[in-house]
Amino acid sequence: MKTTTPTHLQHEFDCIVVGAGIEGSSTAYTLAKNNKNVLLLEQFCLPHTRGSSHGQSRVTRFAYFEDHYLKMMSENFRCWDVLEKEVGKELYVKCGMLQIEHRSGKQFGRIRDLMRQKKLDFYDISSTEACRKWPCLKFNTDFNMFVDENAGVLRADRCLRAFQEMFVKFGGILKDNEQVISILPGKHVSVVTSTNKYTAKSIVITPGAWAAKILRPLGVDIPLKVVRINVCYWRVKSRNKLNDMPTFADTSNGCIYGLPSLEYPGMMKICFHGSDVEIDPDYRDVDNGDTPQKDVELLTKYVKEHFEGVESKPCIIETCMYTNTATDDPILDVHPQYPNIVIGCGFSGHGFKLAPVIGQILSQLALQQEPEFDISHNKLSCFLRNKSRL
């Protein structure tokens, strides 16, 4: 990633954004597009795989139970389309999502009702028909299914780069390999990094799994749970069996989801949504060998049972992190004492698809404007552990 440093802009900014993951990059892009003078700081050399926004694919769909997220989704789809045109690269692949659940499950009916109530495009399909259409599937008639037609895959890495490229094009300054060490509140916020010092009228803190480490010195103590996620890829023995597979989500037992071959030729991504392996993001990959791989065992059994022509042992396991809040709602708010310090964290494993709107909300907060979307569920006060310190 090329970084630029015009000398006249070197130390004083309208806004500094900490963390160039998808949320920080989207926020920086939105501010720069609105003619703000913005610095985006990233601790690692870009591109990197140490946070939560790397990899080639993320699922997106409209189906949120909560109205406030559902409302955000139309705008998200619109914005991904705008970004796609700005960079001239495909960012979204509309391939649909097959929703699957054993008839004893509790989620399927709710999700299908939601699709119907909200007039979202879907069609029912029997498991027999689905297995005929996508011959890699092996489900008996105990399973209910429908296809969510507007769902698909965001090309994650391209989306991230697109925000960063357009940010720089709109005049923003992106500095990677520069870690924020401390943030000093004030009318103008001062930021000390590993190599420099800057000031800005406001700051947006979007550090992903490092949020607790950065926010604690500012008196904000949020119980965030950082967990390690195994991202498993499975070799498809006969590629013709993939046959235009949509993404899928099976909510029979927790949530297992999968994506058609995209990252690596001839391999499907099939993962468990969630984990209870709590980690320190600075030691994400350090494992003493005593961490049970419950999810991989579950997935192995699942693939053996429900996939035809797919090896029942993952051939690649990569690592990523979820930063979870107690309610799975992200935190989007200003610091209780310093209105020019904005916080965006805790995206709880579903923040990628929301990133364009998150960028709008956080940039409006940074400019001390009222966000256009309902963020009453995302207020810091809903999550704080120790309110008395503030």
Ligand X SMILES: Cc1cc2nc3c(=O)[nH]c(=O)nc-3n(C[C@H](O)[C@H](O)[C@H](O)COP(=O)(O)OP(=O)(O)OC[C@H]3O[C@@H](n4cnc5c(N)ncnc54)[C@H](O)[C@@H]3O)c2cc1C
DSSP output for 57-93 = EEEE-S--SSHHHHHHHHHHHHHHHHHHHHHTS--EE
Mask of contacts with ligand X, 290-329, x by CB under 6 A?
A: ------------------------------xxx-------
Examine residue 167 and tell whether it contacts ligand X (CB under 6 A).
no
What is the crossing angle of helices 355-366 and 67-87, to 10°?
A: 100
Nearer to ligand X, 131 or 322 (CB): 322
- The two tokens of residue 222 are 């949020």
Is the bond into 223 cis (omega within 30 degrees of 0)? no
DSSP 303-335: HHHHBSSB-SS-SEEEEEEEEE-SSSPPEEEE-
CB atoms within 10 A of CB 244: 9
Q: CB of residue 143 vs ligand X: minimum separation in angstroms?
A: 22
Q: Which amino acid is at 56?
A: Q
Tokens of 185: 């509140």
Q: How many positions of this chain bind ligand X (CB under 6 A)?
A: 36
In the bound state, the residue with its beta carbon closest to ligand X is 21
Q: How far is CA 72 from CA 77, 165, 331, in A?
A: 9, 24, 15
Question: Among residues 172 and 349, whose Cβ is nearest to ligand X?
Answer: 349
How many of the other CB atoms lie within 10 Å of CB of 15? 26
What is the closest distance, in whole angstroms, from the C-beta atom of residue 297 to ligand X in the complex? Answer: 18
* Minimum CB distance to ligand X, residue 151 (Å): 10
Q: Kindly give the residue spans of alpha helices, DSSP state H, lying in 218-347.
A: 294-306
Per the CB < 8 A criterion, the answer to whether 21 and 52 are in contact is: yes
Q: Is 152 in the site for ligand X (CB under 6 A)?
A: no
Query: Interacting stretch for ligand X, rule CB under 6 A, among 13-21, 69-77, 88-96, 111-119?
Result: 13-21
Q: Kindly calculate the radius of gyration of the chain based on its CA atoms and give it in whole angstroms.
A: 21
**CB nearer ligand X, residue 23 or residue 101:** 23
Q: Tell me the C-alpha distance between 256 and 295, whole Å.
A: 10
In whole angstroms, give the CA distance from residue 22 to residue 358. Answer: 10
Span near ligand X by CB under 6 A; candidates 36-44, 88-96, 107-115, 127-135: 36-44
DSSP secondary structure code for residue 45 in this structure: P
Give, as ranges, the residues between 342 and 371 that touch ligand X (CB under 6 A).
Answer: 347, 349-353
CB 389 to ligand X: min, Å: 21
Which one of 15, 16, 17, 19 is in contact with ligand X (CB under 6 A)?
19
Using the rule CB under 6 A, which residue among 23, 149, 165, 250 binds ligand X? 23
User: Which residue in 39, 83, 137, 231 binds ligand X (CB under 6 A)?
Assistant: 231
Binding mask 50-79 for ligand X (x = CB under 6 A): xxxx----xx--------------------
Smallest distance from ligand X to CB 318, Å: 8
Does 206 bind ligand X (CB under 6 A)? Our answer is yes
Q: Which residues make up the interface to ligand X (CB under 6 A)?
A: 18-24, 41-44, 50-53, 58-59, 179-180, 206-210, 214, 229, 231, 320-322, 347, 349-353
